[in-house]
Amino acid sequence: MNEFKNEKINETPETAEVVTEVSEPEVQKIDYKKEIFEWVKAIVVALVVAFLLRNYVLTLAKVDGQSMEPTLQHADRLYVNKVAYTPEKGDVVIFEPASDPGRPYIKRVIATEGDTVYIDFATGEVFVNDVLLDEPYISEPTHLVGSYINFLMAMGAYSKEQPIEIEPGYFWAMGDNRNASKDSREIGQIPVSELIGHAVFRFWPLNNMGTVDFDVEQ
């Protein structure tokens, strides 16, 4: 009679049969009211942000006319910064003069408060603080006088020895197309309070994308 010894078989993780219980996948009910509310909330937030950006931070502007040629052409599109901007010489800005409400102007800042401005209309040269400006952005020398300067001349209050002094809170701006632009020569010094913003970037047409500012200081 064969004898059999009871031997204990040691199961290892490799040899043991592992049985795992497969649970049924959970089915989560969708709360459609909550989902719709979240979508509506996201859309409202996006609209509010867009409104704030549009009205208080950045806006878009379209050039109308030829007064800033050759720098800007009719129908060019610009991004305009509307936040905490202080005019600086050489910047292209948009403002709405009280003398011509509802019609924004786009011009280049030539002088700011405390500066002096003198234009020699015989030669077309522009002097700021007695320094002749280098103006590669203009289409031609400045010969158009304008009624504001004509008035000063008639009063004997304009000459190289008696230039225009820019008052606190004002700036002086002119179009790059000097002889086809209505600007400070016509309407005088411009209050900073009339500024709409700083034209920081031209985005259209694509082949002319980029900044339109220029450092006029020497």
Query: Six-digit token pair at 135?
Result: 């103006």
Asked if 170 contacts 192 with a C-beta cutoff of 8 angstroms, the reply is yes
CA 37 to chain centre: 35
Catalytic residue (choose from 67, 89, 182, 184): 67
Question: Per the residue annotation, which of 89, 107, 181, 184 is the catalytic one?
Answer: 107
Is 33 a known active-site residue? no
Task: Tell me the DSSP string of 34-97.
Answer: HHHHHHHHHHHHHHHHHHHIIIIIEEEEE--SSTTTTTS-TT-EEEEE-SS----TT-EEEE--
Catalytic-residue membership of 107: yes
Q: Which DSSP helix (H) or strand (E) runs through 128?
A: strand 125-128
Other beta carbons less than 10 A from residue 5's beta carbon? 4
* Catalytic site positions: 67, 107
